[in-house]
Amino acid sequence: MNENEALAGWTFADSGTISWTPRGEGVAMKVLGVADGTMIASFQFQPGYVGAVHNHEQAEFTYILEGSLNSQGVMMYPGHSYAVEAGTLHDQFSTETGCTLVSVFKVPGS
């Protein structure tokens, strides 16, 4: 088996080499990998960011790297995480200090 065959189906990333892509007012994203309709991405939210109310079509997993985040009335800090089941409403998401996190979720539109 050659190296290309051994790596078929694998994606590797160095987040330090990926630029932040603006995703709206006060938020930027780095896509770290995509496989089978699921992605892992890092998000950077500016101080004062308030997220829009949305439904989760699939499960989502989030881990806080820096700053603080209020999600569903729970204050979260570096090292905190949440897992959300499909079909849930996310109606509280904000940061006063700014926040950087990593999330795993369904690729939008897939």
Residues of the chain scoring pLDDT < 50: none
pTM of the prediction?
0.89
Taking only Cα atoms into account, the Rg of the chain, rounded to an integer number of angstroms, comes to 15
Residue 25's domain spans which residues?
20-106
- Report which of 90, 49, 92, 40 is spatially closest to residue 67, judged by C-alpha positions: 49
Name the domain count of the chain: 1
CATH of the domain at 76: 2.60.120.10
Would residue 36 count as lying in a domain? Answer: yes
User: Is residue 2, in this structure, part of any structural domain at all?
Assistant: no
What is the percent of the chain where pLDDT is above 70? 97
Residue type at position 99: C
